[in-house]
């Protein structure tokens, strides 16, 4: 009896141990960011103190520095604005492109699709010299619009390719049925293909938005004034001065920007998994 | 009610290849249940898709209700189609699936609801309105697909193997139901299948197709009893017609007409063959005997006999018997064209 109980319990205990282990490992950076945000510098810089616990009482100094002595709120707004516009541009162009490549261009569709994807593999560091020419030609130097114009050049190829896979996984019969049921090809695309690809579209939204928040090279080169910068560039440029790192404020900035994205991911987790594994099982 | 007509209809998918549909001339009758029957790759689905407007013909004309529809989109043709996969919209509830075509037409909401209820009540699926397609069984999905097809009262019904995804038992009852249903609503229907039993049971007329071409059009009895060529003769019937190739004629007769001693004597004018039985199968209601013709011009040719179990004749494996076919049941085919020819003398 006891033995049977053990064989029943053991796998469950093991499963929970594995779960707890990964939960701790993955949550740990957030915990460290959180505790550093509220630690006094004297506590933080004393090597004898345990870095994961408060030795001295917590403080709000780092948040005060972040919000009052840098343009952090402005950077967040800039990032959100650029992110939103980039997402819109990406969806407006990638959705029809992916649909056309998946359904309308016949045999050439796949080859063109691979071609589109290959452009995504060109390293951004190679592209930024010609692109800076384009930006200056358009007169967009030191403006948020410079990155809004440039980012879609990476987001569109990848998103097109991703959405292509999505559209291909939708049986053709459904579209035929929609057309017999009275829709035009465009109607079938808007009323059937798009609603059925929500997972793919969400994946594209997150991908494009995350790219805007974390991209560094272009944002740094094209934008010089603090007021126009994004979080990804503003925070490290203004909170690392020479060899002085404002750890508390840096961590606070990271925490504040990463938490909403983390929550968003979790909210749509199942759909993302579907988004990234589409076509994996046929 | 529409009558569908195709004139010299052709479809070639890849230039230089053989056509998927070759010179098809077809005319359906008012309210008829017309079955397109053929093995896979015979072009029956392509033909159906061309009538629906989902595939563009390479050449030829399609008329629905006397009107040329070649250049009309599927939506403008006033047809409804049921797909093999049912093609239910997976993100919409059953109700929304059914009203989808009405919504696309721009029908007002109240009328939509009334139509949907009418269609659903015909098929007995009102209780499924709130479910999603993935929560339905195969039979229920098929009904929803049918409801979606009839809801806007189309002038023509196209069905592409709608029963092939059902299990055997359900298929038989669904077949019967579908047939009754079509008679009740009286809409002309074109039905694609590769299953000869379905075709014979349901069709008012059967169009037998092979390699893109129409081999024969006729009532189930016509195509079974008077096959136009050897393809039709062997494609229909299980086991298929016995074909005995002679020097200048192919002689054909159905296994059920190839009768054992004791029964054969009762036939009027008949031809006798020596039949060397190799083995027999007992199938409950009937016996199927496999063997070869012994002696005469067809010596060594394989033949099959199907006799009702009620004929209590002893026919052991390995025995040599004299079987006979009534002369009226013997069909003759030209060995060159494989088409039916007039009665000829049978080589001795």
Residue where a domain terminates, one of B225, B249, B280: B225
Cβ contact A181–B84 (<8 Å): no
Residue B212 is assigned to a structural domain of this protein:
yes
B50 and B187 belong to one structural domain = yes
B188 and B90 belong to one structural domain = yes
B23 and B151 belong to one structural domain = yes
- pLDDT tens profile A79-97: 999 999 999 999 999 999 9
B97 and B194 belong to one structural domain = yes
- How many alpha carbons fall within 13 Å on the CB side of residue A262? 10
Of B49, B53, B100, the CB nearest to A181: B100
B111 and B133 belong to one structural domain = yes
Angle, alpha carbons B134-A161-A269 (nearest 5°): 50
Burial of B267 (0-12, 13-18, 19+ CB in 10 A): middle
Query: What is the least distance, in Å, from the CA of B91 to any CA of chain A?
Result: 7
ipTM: 0.81
B149 and B64 belong to one structural domain = yes
Q: Which fold has domain A64-277?
A: MetI-like fold (1.10.3720)
Map out the domains of chain A as residue ranges: 64-277
Look at residue B117 in the predicted model and tell me its pLDDT: 92
Look at residue A217 in the predicted model and tell me its pLDDT: 87
Look up residue B102 and give its two tokens: 């009405």
Look at residue A281 in the predicted model and tell me its pLDDT: 36
Residue A225 scores a pLDDT above 80 = yes
> From A172, which residue of chain B is nearest by alpha-carbon distance?
B87
B187 and B309 belong to one structural domain = no
| Helix (H) or strand (E) run with residue B191 in it | strand B188-193
Look at residue A279 in the predicted model and tell me its pLDDT: 41
> From B85, which residue of chain A is nearest by alpha-carbon distance?
A173
Residues of A whose CB is below 8 A from B54: 176, 179-180
Query: What is the least distance, in Å, from the CA of A102 to any CA of chain B?
Result: 17
Residues of A whose CB is below 8 A from B100: 178, 181
Query: What is the least distance, in Å, from the CA of A273 to any CA of chain B?
Result: 18
B72 and B200 belong to one structural domain = yes
Residue A274 scores a pLDDT above 70 = no
Q: Is B138 helix (H, G, I), strand (E, B) or coil?
A: helix
Residue B320 is assigned to a structural domain of this protein:
yes
Residues of A whose CB is below 8 A from B79: 180
**B81 contacts chain A (CB < 8 A):** yes
Residue A276 scores a pLDDT above 60 = no
**B78 contacts chain A (CB < 8 A):** no
Residues 6+ positions from A13 with CB-CB distance below 8 Å: none
Residue where a domain terminates, one of B163, B192, B225: B225
Residues of A whose CB is below 8 A from B105: 182
Residue A275 scores a pLDDT above 60 = no
Residues 6+ positions from A234 with CB-CB distance below 8 Å: A70, A71, A72, A75, A226
Residue B231 is assigned to a structural domain of this protein:
no
Residues of B whose CB is below 8 A from A176: 49, 52, 54, 74, 81, 83, 87
**B157 contacts chain A (CB < 8 A):** no
Look at residue A1 in the predicted model and tell me its pLDDT: 63
Residue B40 is assigned to a structural domain of this protein:
yes
Substitution target from B54, B146, B154 for chain A, most A beta carbons within 10 A: B54
Query: What is the least distance, in Å, from the CA of A112 to any CA of chain B?
Result: 21
Residue B22 is assigned to a structural domain of this protein:
yes
Residue B55 is assigned to a structural domain of this protein:
yes
Of A174, A181, A192, the CB nearest to B101: A181
Q: Is B264 helix (H, G, I), strand (E, B) or coil?
A: helix
Residue where a domain terminates, one of B165, B196, B225: B225
Residue A278 scores a pLDDT above 60 = no
Of B53, B81, B91, the CB nearest to A177: B81
Q: Which of A3-7, A24-28, A195-199, B142-146 has the lowest mean pLDDT?
A: A3-7
Look at residue A251 in the predicted model and tell me its pLDDT: 93
Query: What is the least distance, in Å, from the CA of A172 to any CA of chain B?
Result: 9
B52 and B170 belong to one structural domain = yes
> From B107, which residue of chain A is nearest by alpha-carbon distance?
A182
CATH number of the domain at B125, please.
3.40.50.300
Cβ contact A179–B100 (<8 Å): no
**B56 contacts chain A (CB < 8 A):** no
Query: What is the least distance, in Å, from the CA of A190 to any CA of chain B?
Result: 12
Cβ contact B73–A173 (<8 Å): no
Look at residue A280 in the predicted model and tell me its pLDDT: 39
B75 and B221 belong to one structural domain = yes
Query: What is the least distance, in Å, from the CA of B300 to any CA of chain A?
Result: 49
Residue B106 is assigned to a structural domain of this protein:
yes
The answer to whether residues B207 and B36 touch, using CB atoms and an 8 Å cutoff, is yes
Residues of B whose CB is below 8 A from A182: 75, 101, 104-105, 152
Look up residue A69 and give its two tokens: 């002595």
The answer to whether residues B193 and B165 touch, using CB atoms and an 8 Å cutoff, is no
Residues 6+ positions from A115 with CB-CB distance below 8 Å: none
Residues of B whose CB is below 8 A from A181: 75, 80, 100-101, 104, 148
CATH number of the domain at B303, please.
2.40.50.140
B128 and B42 belong to one structural domain = yes
Query: What is the least distance, in Å, from the CA of B133 to any CA of chain A?
Result: 13
Spell out which chain A residues touch chain B, with contact meaning CB-CB distance below 8 angstroms.
171, 173-174, 176-184, 187, 192, 195-196
Residue B303 is assigned to a structural domain of this protein:
yes
Counting as low any pLDDT under 70, the low residues of chain B are 1-2, 348
Q: Is B336 helix (H, G, I), strand (E, B) or coil?
A: coil
B170 and B36 belong to one structural domain = yes
Cβ contact A176–B81 (<8 Å): yes
Residue whose pair of structure tokens reads 């209590």 in the numeric block: B312
What domain range is B316 assigned to? 239-333
Cβ contact B90–A196 (<8 Å): yes
Substitution target from B72, B100, B107 for chain A, most A beta carbons within 10 A: B100
DSSP letter at B269 equals: S
Overall average pLDDT of the A227-255 stretch: 91
Residue A132 scores a pLDDT above 90 = no
Contacts 24+ apart (CB under 8 A), A92-97: A93/A152, A93/A156, A93/A160, A94/A155, A94/A156, A94/A159, A94/A160, A94/A163, A94/A204, A95/A163, A95/A194, A95/A201, A96/A189, A97/A156, A97/A160
Query: What is the least distance, in Å, from the CA of A188 to any CA of chain B?
Result: 10
Number of domains in chain B: 2
């Amino acid at each position: 009896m006891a033995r049977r109980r053990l064989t029943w319990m053991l796998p469950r205990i093991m499963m929970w141990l594995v779960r707890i282990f990964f939960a701790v490992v993955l949550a740990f950076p957030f915990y460290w960011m959180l505790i550093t945000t509220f630690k006094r510098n004297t506590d933080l810089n004393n090597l004898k103190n345990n870095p994961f616990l408060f030795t001295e009482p917590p403080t709000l100094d780092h948040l005060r520095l972040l919000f009052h002595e840098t343009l952090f709120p402005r950077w967040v707004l800039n990032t959100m604005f650029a992110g939103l516009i980039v997402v819109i541009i990406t969806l407006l162009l990638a959705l029809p492109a992916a649909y056309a490549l998946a359904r309308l261009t016949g045999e050439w569709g796949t080859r063109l699709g691979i071609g589109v994807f290959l452009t995504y593999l060109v390293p951004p560091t190679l592209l930024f010299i010609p692109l800076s020419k384009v930006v200056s030609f358009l007169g967009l130097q030191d403006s948020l619009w410079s990155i809004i114009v440039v980012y879609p050049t990476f987001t569109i190829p990848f998103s097109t390719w991703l959405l292509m896979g999505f559209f291909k996984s939708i049986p053709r019969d459904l579209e035929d049925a929609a057309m017999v049921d009275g829709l035009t090809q465009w109607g079938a695309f808007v009323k059937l293909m798009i609603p059925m690809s929500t997972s793919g579209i969400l994946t594209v939204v997150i991908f494009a938005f995350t790219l805007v928040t974390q991209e560094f090279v272009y944002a740094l080169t094209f934008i010089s004034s603090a007021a126009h910068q994004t979080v990804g560039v503003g925070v490290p440029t203004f909170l690392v001065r020479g060899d002085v790192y404002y750890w508390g404020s840096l961590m606070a900035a990271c925490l504040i920007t990463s938490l909403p994205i983390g929550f968003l991911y979790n909210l749509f987790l199942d759909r993302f998994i579907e988004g990234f594994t589409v076509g994996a099982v046929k | 009610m529409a009558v569908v007509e195709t004139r010299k209809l052709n479809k070639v998918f890849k230039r230089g290849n053989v056509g998927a549909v070759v010179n098809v001339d077809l005319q359906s009758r008012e309210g008829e249940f017309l079955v397109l029957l053929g093995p896979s790759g015979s072009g029956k689905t392509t033909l159906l898709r061309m009538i629906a407007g989902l595939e563009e013909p390479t050449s030829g004309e399609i008329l629905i209700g006397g009107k040329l529809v070649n250049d009309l989109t599927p939506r403008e043709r006033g047809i409804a189609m049921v797909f093999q996969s049912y093609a239910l919209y997976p993100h919409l509830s059953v109700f929304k699936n059914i009203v989808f075509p009405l919504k696309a037409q721009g029908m007002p909401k109240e009328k939509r609801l009334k139509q949907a209820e009418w269609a659903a009540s015909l098929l007995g699926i009102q209780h499924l309105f709130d479910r999603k397609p993935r929560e339905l069984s195969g039979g229920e999905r098929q009904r929803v697909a049918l409801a979606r097809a009839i809801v806007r009262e189309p002038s023509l019904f196209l069905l592409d193997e709608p029963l092939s995804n059902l299990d055997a038992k359900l298929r038989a009852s669904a077949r019967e139901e579908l047939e009754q249903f079509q008679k009740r609503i009286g809409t002309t229907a074109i039905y694609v299948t590769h299953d000869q039993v379905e075709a014979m049971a349901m069709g008012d007329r059967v169009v037998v197709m092979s390699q893109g071409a129409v081999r024969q059009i006729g009532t189930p009895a016509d195509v079974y009893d008077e096959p136009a060529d050897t393809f039709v003769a062997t494609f229909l019937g299980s086991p298929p017609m016995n074909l005995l190739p002679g020097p200048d004629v192919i002689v054909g007769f159905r296994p059920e007409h190839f009768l054992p001693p004791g029964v054969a004597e009762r036939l009027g004018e008949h031809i006798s063959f020596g039949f060397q039985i190799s083995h027999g199968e007992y199938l409950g209601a009937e016996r199927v005997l496999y063997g070869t013709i012994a002696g005469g011009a067809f010596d060594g040719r394989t033949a099959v006999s199907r006799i009702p179990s009620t004929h209590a004749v002893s026919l052991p494996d390995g025995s040599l018997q004299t079987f006979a076919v009534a002369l009226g049941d013997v069909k003759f085919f030209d060995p060159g064209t494989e088409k039916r020819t007039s009665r000829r003398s049978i080589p001795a």
